[in-house]
Structure 1
Amino acid sequence: MATAEQTAGDQLPSPPATSTSRWQRLGTQLGLFRRSRIALVGLCLVGFWVVVALFADNCLVTPACYAGIVRGDDITTWATSDEYRSWLSRYSPVEQFRGRTREGPSWDHWLGTDTRGRDIWARLAHGSRLILTLAPLSVMVALLIGGTLGLLAGYYGGMVDEVTMRILDAIIAFPQILLYLVIIASFGASATNVLIAITIAGAPGIARLVRGLTLDIKTRDYVAAAQTQGERSWYIMVFEILPNARGPIIIDSMLRVGYAVFSIGTLGFLGLGLPPPSPDWGSIVQAGRSSIQAGRPWEALWGSLAIAMVVVGLNLIADGMSEETRRYR
Structure 2
Amino acid sequence: MDTLSYTAILGRILAQFLPVWIALAATFALSFAFRRRLGLYGKLFDSPVGMIGFGIVMFWVFTALFADQIVTFDPYAQFSGMKNKPLGTVLKGAAEGQYSHFLLGGDHLARDVFSRMVMGARSVLSIAPPATLFAFMVGITLGVPAGYFGGRLDTTLSFIANLVLAFPVILLFYLLVTPEIRLTGIPVAMAAVLFLFPILFLTVLLNARFFTDPAKRNLYVGVVLLLGFWAYSGLAFNSDPLGVWRMDPNLLNVFVSVVFVNAPTVFRIVRGIVMDLKARDYVAAGQTRGEGPWYIMLWEILPNARGPLIVDFCLRIGYTTILLGTLGFFGLGVAPDSPDWGSTIDDGRKTLALFPHAAVAPAIALMSLVLGLNLLADGLREESLRD
Question: TM-score, normalization: structure 2?
Answer: 0.69
User: What is the number of residues matched between the two proteins?
Assistant: 276
Q: Shift of the alpha carbon at 1:33?
A: 4.1
How far off its partner does 1:136 sit? Answer: 0.2
Q: Which residue of 2 aligns with 1:72?
A: none
Amino acid aligned to 2:262: G
1:94 aligns with 2:76: yes
Deviation at 1:42, TM superposition (A): 1.1
Structure 1 distance, partners of 2:322, 2:52, is: 19
| CA deviation after TM superposition for structure 1 residue 220, in Å | 0.9
Gapped regions of structure 1 (runs ≥ 5):
1-22, 58-86
1:311 aligns with 2:370: yes
- Do the aligned partners of residues 201 and 90 (structure 1) sit closer, same or farther apart at CA in structure 2, a change above 3 Å counting? same
Q: Any residues of structure 2 matched to 1:90-239 within 5 Å, and which?
A: 90-106=72-88, 108-185=101-178, 186-187=181-182, 190-239=250-299
2-structure distance, mates of 1:100, 1:157: 63
% same residue: 42
Provide Cα deviations, 1:86-119, integer angstroms capped at 9, x if missing partner.
x210111111111111111106011111111111
Superposed counterparts of 1:279-318, under 5 Å = 279-293=339-353, 295-318=354-377
Aligned-residue offset at 1:192: 1.3
Alignment correspondent of 2:62:
51
- Paired residues of 1:268 and 1:280 also in contact (CA < 8 A): yes
In 1, are the aligned partners of 2:35 and 2:42 still within 8 Å (CA)?
no
Show structure 2 runs of 5+ residues with no match: 1-33, 90-100, 184-248
Counterpart check, 1:244 vs 2:239:
no
Provide the rounded CA distance (Å) in 2 between the counterparts of 1:134 and 1:44.
20
Looking at structure 2, the residues matched to 51 and 141 of structure 1 have their Cα atoms a distance apart, in angstroms, of 22
Q: Do 1:32 and 1:39's aligned partners in 2 also have CA atoms closer than 8 Å? A: no
Instruction: Find runs of 4+ consecutive structure 1 residues off by over 6 angstroms.
Output: none
The answer to whether the Cα contact below 8 Å between 2:113 and 2:358 also exists between their aligned partners in 1 is: yes
- Helix, strand or coil at the partner of 1:291: coil
Report if the CA contact (8 A) 1:190-1:275 is conserved.
yes
Task: Please give the TM-score of this superposition, normalised by the length of structure 1.
Answer: 0.81
Does residue 335 of structure 2 align to residue 275 of structure 1?
yes
Q: Distance in 2 between matches of 1:44 and 1:316?
A: 10
Q: Contact 1:269/1:285 (CA < 8 Å) preserved in 2?
A: yes
The one-letter code matched in structure 2 to 1:305 is I
1:4-83 superposed matches below 5 A: 26-57=37-68
Partner Cα distance (1:95, 1:256) in 2: 33
Alignment root-mean-square deviation, CA: 1.6
Q: Is the 8 A contact 1:154 1:214 kept in 2?
A: yes
Q: CA deviation at 1:26?
A: 4.2
* Offset, 1:164: 0.5
| Aligned partner of residue 190 in structure 1, secondary structure | helix
* Distance (whole Å) between structure 2 residues aligned to residue 316 and residue 202 of structure 1: 21
- Tell me the distance in 1 between the aligned counterparts of 2:348 and 2:35: 48
Is the contact between residue 44 and residue 313 of structure 1 (CA under 8 Å) also seen in structure 2?
yes
What are the Cα deviations for residues 153-189 of structure 1, in whole angstroms up to 9, with x where unaligned? Answer: 0011000000000010000000110110111122387
Q: How far has the Cα of 1:120 moved from its partner?
A: 0.8
